[in-house]
A = this chain, B = another copy of it.
Amino acid sequence: MKLYTLCGADPKQRFSPHAWKVIMSLSHKRLAFEEYPTAFTAIPNVVGSFSPTVPVLDDGGQKVRDSFEIALYLEETYGDRPSLFKGEGGRALSRTIEGYSQWIVQPALMRIIGKDIHDCLAPEDQSYYRESREKRFGMSLEALVENWESELRAFPAKLEPIRHALKFGPFLGGASPLFADYILFGAFQWARVVSPKPILTPGDSVSDWFERCLDLYDGIGRAAAS
């Protein structure tokens, strides 16, 4: 199994939140895989026209793109391995949690680390990243992160849904993690890998949960260069 992920100028600096969801999911299912960290501008060279973005999973020639689609594929194909959803309800509700990560957590993080991502890329990828993101956000990267300090102060309140769930178990999935945990892990790992900014506060239950996630699967998350 081959997994194409995203990297900065240093191939060990693998920062894509969506790729991390898949790295954790493959590990959860105890599936061996070879990771191919890929720079933004090299994606067409490695996955051709199959997908404009990574992660892309190549499972013996069967290619799958999009982190949630890959999780669904793994759950279906490797149904005898530990479940990523624990039932139909878990599968459906993971979409609301994906929406929360994608539309509340990640946009806030982007206004904190958006320029740090740029700074860890190779020159040709910096140009691509700056142009595509400045178009998407309708402002310069510098303007995007201009108020990062107030954004960071407002950030803990946005994590209350996670904090609430952690009153009832060590993971969002309960006693053990599910894909929903990896969805949000991906967002915080993204920030951790590209930025030295103190995103989570030690002693906060969200920070404790993130540390537990970093320890999973022989510390595969913790081993990422940051």
Q: Interface residues of A toward B: which range?
A: 35 or more
Q: A104-B161, A161-B100, A161-B103 are in contact. Are A92 and B95 (CB under 8 A)?
A: no
Cα–Cα distance between A98 and B90 once the two chains are bound (Å)? 14
Does A102 touch B at the CB level, under 8 Å? yes
Q: Is A51 an interface residue (CB 8 A)?
A: no
Contact for A89 among B87, B158, B165, B169, CB less than 8 A: B87
Determine whether the beta carbon of B93 is less than 8 Å from that of A89. Answer: yes
Q: Does A186 contact B (CB under 8 A)?
A: no
Q: A172 contacts which chain B residues (CB < 8 A)? A: 92-93, 95-96
A64 to chain B, nearest CB (A): 17
Residues in B neighbouring A83, C-beta threshold 8 A: 89
Q: Give the docked Cα–Cα distance between A104 and B156 (Å).
A: 12
List 24 interface pairs A-B (beta carbons < 8 Å), by A numbering: A83-B89, A85-B87, A86-B87, A86-B88, A87-B90, A89-B173, A90-B90, A90-B92, A92-B168, A92-B174, A93-B93, A93-B172, A93-B173, A93-B178, A95-B164, A95-B165, A95-B168, A95-B172, A96-B162, A97-B97, A97-B161, A99-B163, A103-B161, A104-B160
